[in-house]
Amino acid sequence: MAERPDRSDRSDRSDRSKRNRYDRQRFQRERECRFCASPSMKIDYKDIETLGRFVSDHGKIRSRRQTGTCAKHQRKLAKAIKRSRHLALLPFTGESLR
């Protein structure tokens, strides 16, 4: 009767893949919110230059992960972008879709 190979090395592979995934996440630098860092910077629906940084090329609002804003300011930012779109200060779609 043939002996079965030792299966302990299989668990090593899964541990190794988990370890690599966590190692990659650990080296991401911590972003700080621009609005928390400089209180003089305000979120205003009329400030198109500032709001334009937080909108993608397709016209979508960028996520907190991409922009590094805190939850409080991300909510204010989304509301300001939606207001400026409603008043036709910002387009609903990006330049590439027109």
* CATH number for the domain harbouring residue 74: 4.10.640.10
| List of the chain residues with pLDDT < 50 | none
In angstroms, the CA 65 to CA 67 distance is: 6
Q: What is the pTM of this model?
A: 0.68
Q: What is the pLDDT of residue 10?
A: 57
In a domain, 92, yes or no: yes
In a domain, 5, yes or no: no
Q: What is the pLDDT of residue 30?
A: 72
In a domain, 45, yes or no: yes
> What is the tally of structural domains in the chain?
1
In a domain, 24, yes or no: no
Domain assignment of residue 50, given as a range: 40-98
Q: What is the pLDDT of residue 95?
A: 73
In a domain, 20, yes or no: no
In a domain, 12, yes or no: no
